[in-house]
Amino acid sequence: MSKPKSAYSIPGKKQKSDTHVIVVWVDNEAGVLARVVGLFSGRGYNIESLAVAEVDSKLNISRITIVTTGTPQVIEQIKLQLGKLVPVHKVADFMRGDKKIIFKEMALLKIVGNNVKRKKAIKFCKKFNPVVLDKTNKSVVIQITALRREIDTIMNDLKKTGLVSVSRTGAVAMTRGAEVFK
Amino acid sequence: MSKLYSGAEIVFKCLEAQDVEYIFGYPGGAVLPIYDELKNHESIKHILARHEQGAGHAAEGYARSSGKPGVVLVTSGPGATNAVTALTDAYMDSIPLVCISGQVPTHLIGTDAFQECDTTGITRPCTKHNWLVKDVKDLSKIIHKAFEVATTGRPGPVLVDIPKDIQFQKTKYVNSIKRKKLNGKIHNKFNQGEIDQLVKLMVNSSKPILYTGGGVINSGPKASELLRELVSLTGFPITSTLQGLGSYPGDDNQFLGMLGMHGTYEANNAMHDCDLMINIGARFDDRITGKIDEFSPKSKKVHIDIDPSSINKNVKVDLPIVGDVSEVMLSVIKTLKKKHPNFASSNKEKTSKWWEKISEWRSVNSLNFINSDKTIKPQHAIQRLYELTKDKDTYITTEVGQHQMWAAQHYKFNKPNRWMTSGGLGTMGYGLPAAVGVQIAHPDKLVVDIAGEASVLMTIQEMSTAVQYNLPIKIFILNNEYMGMVRQWQELLHEKNYSESYTAALPDFVKLAEAYGCVGIRAKTPDELDEKIKEMINVNKPVIFDCLVDKEENCFPMIPSGKPHNQMLLGPNDQKENKITGKGKTLV
C-alpha cells in the first residue's frame, strides 16, 4: 500500500469478535430506547436483535435485551458507555454460549396449505413447544420458542409446508438457578 | 397553601438556587415567557450573543475559565440547532453547560409547527443527558438534576427543552438540589490496593513519565496543586495534552512540553521509550497516540480517569484507576510519603540515565524555527505576545488550526483555567465567543483570542457582543490568508494541490474593527510588532489585531499520519541538514 493520504491513522489489527447478550435495566421513560439504540448506532456497534418491555410497573423499570457482536474491547466499551447513561440502572453481559444462561426467542409462523401440509408443519415444530394459536381449514398460526439458529433452521424446513409469514421477537435471557444478577 | 409560580419563574428560581450569575443566549418566539421574566431577577445577567453558537461557546469560555457551569438560553428550532455545535464541542472537551431551549407548545409538538424541531432527538448524542419537560410539576426537579448531571463525574453539556405552554403554567416550586448519587453512578471507585500497586510501579521504574490531560483542569485548582506536589515528590518528567496545559508550569524544567501530533520531540520520544506511563486525566486521543499498534511499546501503562469508559477505549492499560484525579493523586502522595520518604532524591540515580536521554532529545530544540527580519513568523508573533503578556495573568483562547498549535507550543501557561481551546471537536470559530465568556467571568483580566483569519470569520459577529458589554477582548489574528492547517496537509499529502484553502477577498480587519466600534491594529513587520502588541494591551476596548505573517510557514514538529511517536518530522532546519531542497518544505 502506498502512503496513506489521511489525517487519521490506518486501522490496526482486528481482534476476534464474539456474540454477547447485553441486558440493561432502565427507567421506563420517554426516549430511553432511543438513547440506548442511538449509542449503538452512533458508536458503530451492531445490534443483532432487541427485546424490550417494562418488567416492574411500580419502580417503572424496563428490561432491554440486546444481542450484539464485537471484539472484547468493543463489548467492554458497550457496557461502560451504557452504564454512563443517566436512566440506566445496571448492565449485565453474557456470552451467547454461556451454559448458565437461558436464551429464548419466540416466533409466530403462518402456514397456508392443505391438511397434510399443516400437520407436517406442526410436527416439524414439535421440539420447540408449538402452540396453535389460530386455525382455519386453509391455514394455521403456530407459536414456537427456541434459539435463533433453531428458528432459522425450522423456517427453512417449513418452506415446503406452506410457510407464508414469520414474525419473530428478539432474544430474552435469564440466569439459571436461584441466583439473580445484581 | 404555598405560592404558585409560572414555569418561567421556576426556571429563574432554579438558576438563582444554583448561583447562576450569567446566561448566554438569544431570544425567540418559544422562549419569550422566560425572557419576559428576566427583568424580575437582578442577580442574573443575560449576555446577548449574535448567534446561538456564539452563546454556546461564550458559555464554554465562561465555564472553563471560572470552573462554574455555563448556562445557555435559546429558542426552539434554529435556536436549538445553532447551539448544537457548541454542545458537541462541550461534550468532546468535557465542559459543564446547561442549555435551556424553548419548544413549541405541547399540543403542537409533532405537527411540524413554526420553528419546531426534535431538539431532544437532535441533541441526544451530543449531551450527557437531555429532557423534554412535559409537565410543569417536573420542571424544578429536572433543572436541578440537569445542573447535577452537567457538573458531576466527567462534566459535560445537558439540555432542558421547555415547551412554551409549560413556561406559562403555574405550580409550586420545589427546591430539590440533591447531592445524591445518580443511579448509583459512583465516581471514586479506586481502592488503596490500586494506589499501592501504582506506587510500586513508580518505585521500580527507571524511565517513568507523567502524561496529564484536561481531567486535571476539570478536577479543580486543587488538582493542579497536587500535580505539582506529585511531580516534585517523584522527580519524574511530565508532559501534557493540549487540554491539560496550565495544570503544570510550562516553563519548569521537569515539563517536557505538549505531546502529540504537534508536540515536542522530547515529549513524544519520552512517551515512546518510557517503561512506565502514568496517564492522569487524559484519554489517549488519536492526536496523542499516533499509530496505536506502535504506541509506547515497552511501557507499563497506568490510567487514572473519572470516566470508566475512557479506560481501555483506545489503548489497553495495565493498571486502571477510576476516580477523581485529585482524590487519586492525594492518595498516591500520602502513600508515597509514608512508604518512601525522600523518594525524589533516592530515585535520582535510577532515573539519571533517563533524564540524560531526555536532555539529548531536548537539545534538538524541536520548536525552533527560522526567524526572519522581513516577515513576521507566526511563532515569533506568539513568542512576543507571550513575553509581553506573561506578567499579567493572561487568559488565552484560540480558534482551530496552525495558530492554535503554535499558541500551544510557544505560549507557556503557569496556572490552570487560563487556556481555552477546542481540542476534541476542533471547532473553528470557537475562540472569539469563548473570549467573550472568559472576559465576562474575569472582567479585569487580559483576555486574548489567538486566531486565524479563516476561523475568526466564522463567528466574527460576536465582536458586536464584546462591544455591547464593554468587554476589552483582544483578537490576535495570525493572518496568512490561508486556512493554514488545511494548506499544510495539502502540501504534505496532496502534492501541493491547494484546493479551496486560500481565502480571496478577505475583509480589511482594521476597518472591520472600526465598523464594529472597536479598535483595529495592524502589524506588518517584525520591527513594529512589539510596539503594536503593547498598543493592543493598553487599549481598554475590544481590539482586532491583524498580524500579517509568513503565508507558507508550516507547523512543526509533527507526527505524520499513521506513524508512531518516534518518527517525527522536524522543521525546515532538519531538512537542511538532510539536504532536501525546495524551500525545505517537500517532506513526505
> What part of A 48-77 touches B (C-beta under 8 Å)?
73, 76-77
Does the pTM surpass 0.90? The reply is yes
* CB contact (8 A) between residue A80 and residue B309: yes
Residue B569: DSSP 8-state:
B
- Whole-number Å distance between alpha carbons of A129 and A144: 6
* CA pair distance B257, B246, nearest whole angstrom: 11
Nearest CA in chain B to A27: B183
**Class of B378-548 in CATH:** alpha beta
Nearest residue, CB atoms, A9 vs list B132, B185, B286: B286
* Residue pairs spanning A and B at CB distance below 8 A: 69
Q: Residue range B316-340: average pLDDT?
A: 96
pLDDT at B586: 36
H helix runs in B169-307, sequence order: 192-204, 214-218, 221-234, 265-273, 286-289
Q: Is A167 exposed, middle or buried (0-12, 13-18, 19+ CB in 10 A)?
A: exposed
Calculate how close chain A gets to B308, using CA atoms only, in Å: 7
* CATH number corresponding to B192-363: 3.40.50.1220
Q: Which ranges constitute the DSSP H helices of B274-364?
A: 286-289, 325-339, 343-347, 352-363
Q: Among A33, A39, A76, which residue's Cα sits nearest to residue A51?
A: A33
Mutation target for A interface from B492, B561, B563, B588: give the one with most A CBs within 10 A: B561
Cell of B61: 469560555
What helix, strand, coil percent values describe chain B, rounded to 5?
45, 15, 40
pLDDT at A3 (0 to 100): 53
Where in chain B are all domains bearing CATH 3.40.50.1220?
A: 192-363
Query: A128 CA to chain B: closest CA distance, Å?
Result: 39
- The separation between the first and the last C-alpha atoms of chain B, rounded to the nearest angstrom, is 76
Enzyme catalytic residues of B: 52, 114-115, 164, 485
Q: What is the value of ipTM here, to two decimals?
A: 0.89
Phi/psi-derived region of residue A44, left when phi > 0, alpha when psi is between -120 and 50, beta in every other case? left
**Average of pLDDT values for A93-119?**
93
Tell me the pLDDT tens digit for each residue of A130-155.
999 999 999 999 999 999 999 999 99
Q: What residue spans in chain B does CATH classification 3.40.50.970 cover?
A: 5-171, 378-548
Residues 151-180 of A with CB under 8 A from B: none
**CATH 3.40.50.2300 describes domain B5-171:** no
- pLDDT digit string (tens) for B433-477? 999 999 999 999 999 999 999 999 999 999 999 999 999 999 999
Question: Which residue of chain A has the CA closest to B292?
Answer: A12
Minimum Cα–Cα distance from A14: chain B residue: B293
pLDDT of B582 > 90? The answer is no
Question: Would you say residue B428 has pLDDT above 90?
Answer: yes
- The mean pLDDT value for B188-194 works out to 90
All residues at 6 or more sequence positions from B75 whose CB lies less than 8 Å from its CB, including other chains: B26, B27, B28, B29, B30, B31, B101, B102, B115
